[in-house]
Structure 1
Amino acid sequence: MTNRVRVLQEKFRQSLGLPFENLLPSWEIQKVIDELKVKYRRRLFDPIVTLWTFLSQVLDVDKSCHNAVSRVIAYLANQRVEIPSSDTSAYCQARSRLPENLLEKLFGSTAQSLEEKVTTQYLWCARHVKVIDGASVSMPDTIENQKSYPQPSSQKLGCGFPIAKIGVRFSLATGAAIALVIDVLNTHALKLARKLYQFLKPNDILLGDRAFCAYADLVTLMNLKCDAVFRKHQSRQMSMRRGKLFGDCDKLVIWHKPKNAPMD
């Protein structure tokens, strides 16, 4: 068992297009496992091999579990070690055993490690640009998921999957996701964005689409000593004839504080 695990870890380190050794080394994973006191049995699909297999599965064109297990078998071929079964059940069970807090911890540490490697030449005017966006994701149709993230009301009961709305903030320089929040499907993008503001640092620039362009949010970002670049929301009426010109492509305009404050 030890030889097979060692072979697999070495093969994953050397895989082209999968920079696990630099971005998610085995010692980093083991460090988090020890911090969280994750207990696991010594088997082929230990947390490190399972996590690397899962990531390679997600990045591959063929995202099937069968293809992921076939890659493991190919890595072990001609290594004078026992070849595992092509049955995917062991891998799928090992993947389901990965603790959520382990993934969250590695998610944050990897993003932070990448940010620390960014030099001034990859910044905009020596400032970090953070992009914010939202999307929806479906998940397995279980009772727990349906209760926490109900399917759309437009779908017939029992015919749809639980769907959640996620908000993500990622670095424009590295492309890595830095923070993520999740809520029910009908959650407005601004509500998700306001949960992500806590992860901003002074002097950051937040880049987003028109969904995030609101007076209260721009004021909030200014109070955090951050700037924002958003497209103008389609409901905001503004005359381009008003305002002070600053060159061919810049104009200073005044937004008046709305009478009603946002609910959250």
Structure 2
Amino acid sequence: MTNATLFLPGFHLATLRRRPRSAARRLAEEKARIRQHSISELGDCFGHFIPTKTLENGPDGAFSRRRLFSKENTFWAFFSQVLDADGGCQEVVRKVQALAATRSMPVPSASTSAYCQARRKLDPVELEKILAHTADELQQQGRSRWWKDRRVVVVDGTGVSMPDTHANQQDWPQPNSQKPGCGFPQARICACFCLQTGALLSYRMGHHKSAELPLLRQQWDSFSSGDIFLGDKGFCSYYDVWQFNKRGVDSVITLARRTPVVAASAVAVLGPDDLLIQWPKPVWNKALSYSKEEWQALPEHLDLRQIKVTIDVPGMRSKSYYLITTLTDSTRYGAAELADLYRQRWDVELFFRDIKTTMGMDVLRCRTPALVKKEVLMYFIAYNAVRRLIVDAANAVESPPCRISFKASIQALRQWEPQLHQRATDASERRRLLESLRTAIGARQVTARPGRREPRCLKRRPKPFALLTAPRHQMIEVPHRGRYRANVA
């Protein structure tokens, strides 16, 4: 047989003799091809912490077409945006351009239009599911750190502002004390955190006049039987303590709006400044935050425990306060232990500081209510993701997660991300980089300084700019005097 007969038109001998590729190999090649056009290397830091199934494109509807900003790429771009020090959309687009250039892909346009349109397509329901998944995963990681084998859920509220647009003003109006055009929409957020891991479990968002108690009542499903609810005096409510007790949740709060019970009127004296008391049912009035039918269902009294805590730390505003709790077993829950638990309630202020100051959620950027809600969700998802890295690092160095610096963790993640893009060419190299990232995070611990106090004063003076007392387009500068007045002409 001659060599000419070995080759048939349209065929290649080496191809005919090659063994057919298995289904697993074809799947691996397809994943590698998709990965080449993906910007989701940041997700390698979190493994299955972010459910990748939720980020897959659907067969129809939004994100059904193959584009650069697929659902997965848009999610991780948004994720990266809330972690960036700049935080702007242009920063994300520049990052995508740089990544495309390093992979010899066509460099996309510098316009932010495609990215912003892709963000609008993200489903907030799916983002809520991702946030719930991250919270559940963190609970599993931090279960060994629970207080007396019980999860402590600490609750508090905070405020955020956003761009002054008509749409935002409709949902979150600015305070009446500010003139139109001179203020910003204000929103109130009430969130539940796990005290031991810092994980954000749930949240609700309202306008600046929304009280924290009604927002908390919308999150009762976040609590499980056996949890301990930890809150300040703003959550001191007969109705809410009873509702939590019905769900098998104990409460530790500070006394407010009621006169402390004296030892002579107590049911029993459990120890020094430690009393077993009964709260009578409140008298009905229309100012109560629940209906008359709900008031009628309340029991005639609640069996509680009152502990007076004396503060001997110099510089503290209060010298003493009263704890109210449903943990009436003084043998298992000592008064000193409960006082120490309530002192840890301050950690929720640090959690909010990590999100608002360190991550930059204090001033939101989106100009419509729908995108504002997605932006808040992405901040919380990214916060939980960083908390996951902190808990993993704390477990490795056998240190409490609260001792790991949150800001240093974000700084490390920002610097490791480009290396994951450039050098993580195989699984072993990615594992090595991720292990070095956890080691770097665990090495930066915050010094424990109990009782530390510093005056809340600013040393650096702000620039002497005039205040905006009228809409900006009505302001003109008075010549040669550097002052402003309203142009009423």
Q: CA deviation at 1:109?
A: 2.5
- In the other structure, the counterpart of 1:217 is 240
Matches within 5 A, 1:126-165: 126-165=149-188
Q: Which amino acid is the alignment partner of residue 185 of structure 1?
A: H
CA deviations on 1:196-247 (whole Å, 9 max, x unpaired) are 22332111111112211122211111111110111222x4332666655545
Bigger mean CA deviation after superposition, 177-186 or 242-251: 242-251
Q: Relative to 1, partners in 2 of residues 1:22 and 1:39: Cα closer, same or farther, differing over 3 Å?
A: closer
Verify: 1:80 aligned to 2:110, yes or no. no
Matches within 5 A, 1:1-264: 6-14=36-44, 19-30=45-56, 34=58, 38-119=62-143, 121-233=144-256, 235-238=257-260, 243=266, 244-247=268-271, 250-260=274-284, 262-264=288-290
Indicate if the aligned counterparts of 2:212 and 2:234 stay in contact, CA closer than 8 A. yes
Bigger mean CA deviation after superposition, 58-67 or 208-217: 58-67
Indicate if the aligned counterparts of 1:131 and 1:169 stay in contact, CA closer than 8 A. yes
CA deviations on 1:57-112 (whole Å, 9 max, x unpaired) are 21222212222223333333422222223333322232233222222222223222
Q: How far apart, in 2, do the equivalents of 1:212 and 1:35 lie?
A: 47
Q: Relative to 1, partners in 2 of residues 1:245 and 1:56: Cα closer, same or farther, differing over 3 Å?
A: farther
Q: How far apart, in 2, do the equivalents of 1:180 and 1:251 lie?
A: 34
Q: How far apart, in 1, do the equivalents of 2:220 and 2:106 lie?
A: 50
Q: Relative to 1, partners in 2 of residues 1:186 and 1:13: Cα closer, same or farther, differing over 3 Å?
A: closer
Q: Which amino acid is the alignment partner of residue 8 of structure 1?
A: S
Q: How far apart, in 2, do the equivalents of 1:35 and 1:218 lie?
A: 48
- Higher RCO structure, 1 or 2 (CA under 8 Å, sep 6+): 2
Indicate if the aligned counterparts of 1:5 and 1:44 stay in contact, CA closer than 8 A. no
Larger-Rg structure: 2
Q: Relative to 1, partners in 2 of residues 1:113 and 1:38: Cα closer, same or farther, differing over 3 Å?
A: farther
Indicate if the aligned counterparts of 2:74 and 2:118 stay in contact, CA closer than 8 A. yes
CA deviations on 1:166-224 (whole Å, 9 max, x unpaired) are 22122223322222222222111111112222332111111112211122211111111
Q: Relative to 1, partners in 2 of residues 1:60 and 1:245: Cα closer, same or farther, differing over 3 Å?
A: farther
- Secondary structure in 2 matching 1:42: coil
Q: How far apart, in 1, do the equivalents of 2:137 and 2:59 lie?
A: 18
Indicate if the aligned counterparts of 1:4 and 1:82 stay in contact, CA closer than 8 A. no
- Secondary structure in 2 matching 1:110: helix
Q: CA deviation at 1:148?
A: 2.6
Counting matched residue pairs gives 255
Gaps of 5+ in 2: 1-31, 291-489
Bigger mean CA deviation after superposition, 76-85 or 40-49: 76-85
Relative to the length of structure 1, the TM-score reads 0.82
Q: How far apart, in 1, do the equivalents of 2:206 and 2:230 lie?
A: 21
Q: How far apart, in 2, do the equivalents of 1:263 and 1:35 lie?
A: 47
Relative to the length of structure 2, the TM-score reads 0.47
CA deviations on 1:98-136 (whole Å, 9 max, x unpaired) are 2222222222232223334443x2211111111211122
Indicate if the aligned counterparts of 1:111 and 1:177 stay in contact, CA closer than 8 A. yes
Indicate if the aligned counterparts of 2:51 and 2:133 stay in contact, CA closer than 8 A. no
Indicate if the aligned counterparts of 2:191 and 2:202 stay in contact, CA closer than 8 A. yes
Q: Which amino acid is the alignment partner of residue 179 of structure 1?
A: S
- Runs (4+) of structure 1 exceeding 6 A deviation are none
- Secondary structure in 1 matching 2:190: strand
Q: Which amino acid is the alignment partner of residue 260 of structure 2?
A: M
Q: How far apart, in 1, do the equivalents of 2:71 and 2:61 lie?
A: 13
Indicate if the aligned counterparts of 1:36 and 1:102 stay in contact, CA closer than 8 A. no
- Secondary structure in 1 matching 2:102: coil
Q: Which amino acid is the alignment partner of residue 201 of structure 1?
A: S
